[in-house]
Structure 1
Amino acid sequence: MFAAYVTVTIFASLLNGSAAVVYLIGHEFPKAQLDMKRLPRSWAPVLGMLLAAGSFGLLGGFAVPMLGTLAAAGLVLYFIGALLAHLRVGSRTLVNWAGFLATAVAALAVNLVYNWS
Structure 2
Amino acid sequence: MNIAYHVVGIVAALWIGFSGFSLFTRKEFVVEPLQQYGVPTSWWNWLALAKSAGALGLIVGFFLPAIGIAAAVCLILYFLGASATSIRAGHASSAIFPVLYLVPAAATMALQLAR
Moved over 6 A (4+): none
Q: How does 1:57-72 map to 2 (within 5 A)?
A: 57-72=57-72
What TM-score do the two structures reach when normalised by structure 1? 0.91
* Equivalent residue runs for 1:18-97 within 5 Å: 18-91=18-91, 92-97=93-98
Structure 2 CA distance, aligned partners of 1:80 and 1:94?
9
Task: Report the Cα offset of residue 30 of structure 1.
Answer: 2.3
Distance 2:6 2:101 in 1: 18
Partner of 1:63, secondary structure, is coil
2:75 partner amino acid:
L
Partner of 2:112: 111
Deviation at 1:81, TM superposition (A): 0.4
CA displacement 1:51-75 (0-9 Å, x = unmatched): 0000100000111110001001110
SS at match of 1:98: helix
Tell me, in whole angstroms, the C-alpha distance in 2 between the residues paired with 1:8 and 1:105. 10
- Give the number of the structure whose residues are more often helix, by fraction: 2
Which stretches in structure 1 are left out of the alignment for 5+ residues? none
SS in 2 for 1:102: helix
Structure 2 stretches lacking a partner, 5+ long: none
Deviations along 1:74-116, one digit per CA (max 9) or x if unpaired, are 10000010011011012122342221111111111112112xx
The number of equivalent residue pairs is: 114
Q: Which moved more, 1:98-107 or 1:8-17?
A: 98-107
Coordinate RMSD, CA, aligned? 1.1
Inter-partner Cα distance in structure 1 for 2:24 and 2:15: 14
1:47 deviates by 0.7
Percent of residue pairs bearing the same amino acid type: 33
